Each structure stands twice: as C-alpha cells, then as structure tokens.
Amino acid sequence: MMKHGIATLFLSVCLSLVLVSSAMANVINKDDLVGVWGSSEDHGKTFWGFDQYHANGRLMSWGTLPDTAESFELVGTYQLITQNAMSVNCITILESSRPDVISPGTQICSLITKLNNSEMHYIDEEGQQHVLYKQNTNQLL
C-alpha cells in the first residue's frame, strides 16, 4: 500500500512538471522502447548494466552492480502509461538474482523526458535524471 501511495505521489509530481514545462512533455510510443538499453556512468563509453525491452511487455535486465563486482539478473514486465502528454514507464520485478538488492514484486516508475534512436532520458522516483544508451544488438552477441 505504501508503494502505491508513493507511485501515486510520484505521478502527481510528474503531472505538475508537465504542466509547468510542457515543452519537455514527450509522448512516447511503446514500440520505441523495444531493444537493449545500456546504463553508463561515463556518458556511454562503458556500461554496467543493460535493460532489454520486448514488444510483449517483458523486460530483462543484467549486469554488474556499480562499484562492485557482483552481477545481477532481473526479469519483469513494463507498462508505458501516457497521460496529459506525459509518458511514465512502470516496471514490476518478477524474478531477481539479487533479492537483497531488489526483490520480486518491486515496482519502479520513471518519467521519460526524451527518447530517440540513441538515448532515453528519464527522471527516477527520487527526482534524479538518468540517460540510457540504445545498443546495437549485433555487437552484444
């Protein structure tokens, strides 16, 4: 119940941001999320984790936790919620190799502020801005 309240509050804050800055508002097509996106601390030079979005709403994540040598794998679902010219991506974790870090049942929502064929910019539930970098899947194989 607490998580639902936090997610509702987060969505309310996001709606306020959209009203204040409609120039940043960006309706995202779910098909544009499909593919592999990399998490990086150095603007895309190296990557510590990857998120693979599937057209059927499934999500797979894997990598090494930042500042550690510990690997992780996650399986989940995602839902893109578009309202008032705003796109919020909500992920629900179904399986986790590291339940001590992120447990099954956890829901994480983020406001997507920009998405193109190379970068996804988003704001997390704590108000931090992040960028994911689209990967060429031929290079990952």
Rounded distance, CA 105 to CA 74, Å? 11
Element (H, E) at 34: none
pTM of the model: 0.79
More confidently predicted of 1 and 97: 97
What is the domain range of residue 56?
Answer: 2-140
Q: Mean pLDDT, the chain, as a whole number?
A: 85
What is the per-residue pLDDT across 40-79, written as a single tens digit (0 to 9) for each?
A: 999 999 999 999 999 999 999 999 988 888 999 999 999 9
Q: In the chain, how many domains are there? A: 1
User: How many residues can be counted in the chain?
Assistant: 141
63 in Cβ contact with 48 (< 8 Å): yes
CATH number of the CATH domain containing 71: 2.40.128.280
